[in-house]
Every structure is written in C-alpha cells, then in structure tokens.
Amino acid sequence: MNVPAMRAIYSFEMARTRRTLLQSIVSPVISTSLYFVVFGAAIGSRIAEIDGISYGAFIVPGLIMLSLLTQSVSNASFGIYFPKFTGTIYELLSAPVSYLEIAASYVGAAATKSMILGLIILATAGLFVPIQVAHPLWMLLFLVLTAVTFSLFGFIIGIWADNFEKLQLVPLLIITPLTFLGGSFYSINMLPPIWQTITLFNPVVYLVSGFRWSFYNIADVSVGISLAMTLLFLAIFLAIVAWIFKTGYRLKT
C-alpha cells in the first residue's frame, strides 16, 4: 500500500478545508444553530415531549445527521470532481497509486471533515438544550459508518457529474428531502399507519433511528436493523466504486 501517496491526497483535501473554513465549518454550524432556534424554541414550545424527551433535545441527532449526510456528499463529490474539471485526474490515474488507495484517500478526508463538523454541532447543541449520550461508542460507530458511507456516495456523484449543477442536484433534490422526511424532526410513530409503512422505504430513517437510539435509548426501528441497513448501504456504494474504477466509467473519457 502506497501510504505516502494516500497521506498526500488526504492532506491536500484537509488543507482545502482549512482554506475554506468559513464555508466548510462555520456556515453549517450557523445554519444548524438556526434550526435549533426555529424548531427547538419557536416550534418546540408548542410540542409536548416525545417519548419523555424534550423536543429540542429530540431533534439534536436528526440535525447532526442532516449536516453529516449533506456535508459528506458535498465534500466527497467536489473533492473528486475538481481534478476532473481541471484535468489533473489523469496525473492521478497515471501515478503509482491503486484505485483503492485513491478512493480511500478522498473518502477518508471527506468523512473526517463531516465527523469533525458533526462533533462541533453536537457541542453547539449543548448550548441550547441539555443532551445526554446513553451509548457513546455506538454514537461514534454510527457517526463513522454514516460519514464513510455517504462520502462514498458523494465520491460516486463526483465521478458521475459532468458539471457543477449536477454536483448540487442529488444533495438538494434527494438527500435533503429524504432527511427531512426520515424522522429527523419527529418520530415516525406519530404518523398514520399507512405513512409509517411508506416511510420505512426511506433509507435515512434507519440512520436517524439508530443514531437517536445511541443518545436516548429510543428508536423508530430496531437498532440491529439500523446497523444492518447502514452496513448494506456501505457495501453497495463500495461495490459501485469498485465497478467505476474497474471499467473507468467517466474517468478515462
């Protein structure tokens, strides 16, 4: 394994985050804080507790997951798309670096950025509402798995996209709506039975449910199912990335 090359790619991507600190970290944290003000204070004062948890505290895992998903996809997609846009992707493909090492470097950097942001948002949430983490290790596990999984998804989007508009298409029209409809701001048990069944087809439900369980011991679906679904998504995206590099899809043309 070419560790120096992987470290170089990883360091370059992390350096880009430091150069765009305002956009990469500060902006998402401010946006999430506004969610706390609007949902936690204005709307939360009109909503009773959910499963014994105040509404402001209840939405914390959902807000972290919202930022984690969108930032993982955005960071990874831009990270691999930009070398394609500038033409430096050919230098990368001709270097003595395997496809696995390339993917691991870009995905690792994107996942690291997202996890740092998620932990910052968690600390920021503590300024607004009291937070308890019942299972810290499970919380970190879901955080890492989700960040890596959707960084892989973003990596796929970055390779698929042939313009900057397409980079924003999937996060804006798919990821964000699925997150809002995936129980981030409510329990799916509050929905009518037919809508509960329909909601279970939303993959984000399992991510949010498992992550919320690690905080408050409450979940819309079994934590075992949540973990299994997360690993399934990870395996699917890994298989797609492997196929992309095997076939050279949108890399060699």
Indicate the residue type of 16.
R
What span, in angstroms and rounded, lies between the C-alpha atoms of 15 and 3? 18
What span, in angstroms and rounded, lies between the C-alpha atoms of 177 and 130? 27
Higher pLDDT, 126 or 201: 201
pLDDT band at 44 (very low <50, low <70, confident <90, very high): low
pTM of the predicted structure, to 2 decimals: 0.89
Summary mean pLDDT of the chain:
86
Phi-psi region of 221 (alpha: psi -120 to 50; beta: other; left: phi over 0): beta
Q: What is the mean pLDDT of residues 138-154?
A: 95
Reported as a single tens digit per residue, the pLDDT across 234-248 is 999 999 998 988 887
pLDDT exceeds 80 at position 21: no
**Residue 23 contacts by C-beta under 8 Å, 6 or more apart in sequence?**
none
Query: Does residue 82 contact residue 62 with C-beta atoms inside 8 Å?
Result: no
Domain edges within the chain: 3-247
Q: What is the mean pLDDT of residues 32-45?
A: 70
Record the tokens describing residue 207, joined without a space.
């991510």
